Amino acid sequence: GKRTRRIDLLSGGERALTALSLLFGIYLVKPSPFCVLDEVDAPLDENNIGRFIKLLEDYKADSQFVVITHNPRTIEAADWIYGVTMEEPGVSTVVGVKLEDAIQVAEAS
């Protein structure tokens, strides 16, 4: 393991892992049916993205997770993907697709 040090000396990825560890530790004590995670995977390296995805997979049977991300690996692990577009100024449109269905359509093409 690593030595104990001040949080401001940690890298962005180490800080994110520390925050996620605290969040999921609280979750284990008092589970929530719904959790929003906004780009928490952005500072994580590839190995830790895999660990993050595994955590979500382990807990998704008991909770619904809404994860805002730009990471392709995190997106691939989702059951549903939602995109928000703005075709005209000030008007947002939400588009949703079940990932499994999208894969079947892509494979059939």
Return the domain boundaries, the chain: 1-67, 79-109
pLDDT for position 73: 95
pLDDT score of 8: 84
- Tally the residues of the chain: 109
Judged against a pLDDT cut of 80, whether residue 99 lies above it is answered with: yes
Please check the confidence at residue 10 and state whether its pLDDT lies above 90: no
pLDDT for residue 101 is more than 90:
no
User: Using one digit for the tens of pLDDT, what is the confidence trace for 20-69?
Assistant: 999 999 999 999 999 999 999 999 999 999 999 999 999 999 899 999 99
pLDDT of residue 96: 93
Q: How many alpha carbons lie under 13 Å from residue 89 in its C-beta half-sphere?
A: 0
CATH class in words for 1-67: alpha beta
Rounded to whole angstroms, the Cα distance separating 91 from 70 reads 22
Residue 2 is given by DSSP the state P
